[in-house]
Amino acid sequence: MKIERILFPTDFSIYSEKAREYALYLGEKLGASMYILHVIEPLDYPDIDEEIKEFYRELEMQMERKIEDEKRIFEQRGFHVQASIVIGPRWRVINTFAKEKSIDLIVMGSHGLKTETGQIAIGTTSHKVIFSSPCPVLVVRYEEGRQ
């Protein structure tokens, strides 16, 4: 199996930053093309206030700036990268995008939490992506204080 296309879905959090390190490393080692994806959950409320709609439009513009910053990080490392922002349910958009772009590997961060037994539970989005992905998924956990 050859990994030629890597998808890095990001929410621009510290969890995603850690996953970015892995995506960059693997992309360099494998000579893979890189795809960056940010998903915005939709506002599907019919009677939503106009102020909230305006806030949402502003949020989208901020995310466009952030994804351009993210894209520059990859380009500075020598990658030709495609960056996209899509509105929809996160896990479904990630998996649909992966299928449509023939992605070979998804590298994403997890907002995992420690359970009462000390085990790590991965985040909801990561969990749903793993169990419905058309390709392998590498979930990177961020641990505070660990490099």
What share of the chain in percent tops pLDDT 70? 85
pLDDT at 115 over 50: no
Examine the pLDDT at 116 and tell me if it is beyond 80: no
Instruction: Give tens-digit pLDDT for 56-110.
Output: 788 889 999 999 999 999 999 999 999 999 989 999 999 999 999 999 999 999 8
The encoded tokens of residue 71 equal 């894209």
Q: Which two tokens mark 74?
A: 């990859």
Residue 47 vs residues 22, 23, 43, 52, 88: alpha-carbon distances, Å: 42, 40, 10, 11, 19
* Confidence (pLDDT) at 138: 97
- Secondary structure of residue 131 in the 3-state scheme: helix
- pTM for the structure as a whole: 0.86
The 3-state DSSP class for residue 118 equals coil
Mind listing the domains of the chain with CATH numbers? Answer: 5-141 (3.40.50.620)
CA distances from 71 to 74, 103, 117, 119 (A): 5, 18, 39, 34
Confirm if 99 and 46 have CB atoms less than 8 A apart: no
Average pLDDT over residues 115-143: 77
